[in-house]
Amino acid sequence: MSKVCQISGKRTRSGNNVSHANNKVKRKFFPNLKTKKFFLESEGVWVELKVATSAIRTINKKGLEATLLSAARKGTLAL
């Protein structure tokens, strides 16, 4: 499976390892993804999402339904 957050759309970024001698070697920066189950109260079902830890904090703050609606509007929601 790809390393993409289903809520925020965060994905793997590329960059460089830079040594003390300023040598540059390509590397990847991976998002901090967790697979987590959330309870969707309106439907009465558990939903399993692959989300970044920052998205978990957003869900805790705004609520699951509001976060899902904003992700659907942004186009990052991939169920």
Domain 13-74 class, CATH top level: mainly beta
pLDDT 10s digits, 59-71 = 999 999 999 999 9
User: In this structure, which amino acid lies at residue 28?
Assistant: K
* Residue 54 scores a pLDDT above 70: yes
Domain residue ranges in the chain: 13-74
Tell me the whole-structure pTM to 2 decimals.
0.83
pLDDT 10s digits, 4-53 = 999 999 999 999 999 999 999 999 999 999 999 999 999 999 999 999 99
